[in-house]
Amino acid sequence: MKNFFKNTWVQIILFGLMIGLIFILIDNKYNFFNSHKDENLYKGPIEVEKDKTYFTKAEYSEFEYDFGKVNEGDTVGHIFKLKNIGKEPLIIYKSRGSCDCIGAFSSGKNILPDSTEEIKVYFKTKGRKGPQIKTVSIITNTEPSEAILTFKGEVK
Mean pLDDT (the chain) is: 84
Hey, what amino acid is at 123? F
Q: Which residue, among 151, 142, 94, 95, has the nearest Cα to 123 in the 3D structure?
A: 151
Hey, what amino acid is at 92? I
- pTM of the prediction? 0.64
What span, in angstroms and rounded, lies between the C-alpha atoms of 86 and 148? 20
Report the percentage of the chain scoring pLDDT > 70. Answer: 82
pLDDT at 24: 81
Residue 31 CA: distances (Å) to CA of 27, 28, 36, 64, 133 = 5, 6, 10, 43, 43
Confidence of residue 37 (pLDDT cuts 50, 70, 90): low
Confidence of residue 51 (pLDDT cuts 50, 70, 90): low
What span, in angstroms and rounded, lies between the C-alpha atoms of 104 and 119? 6
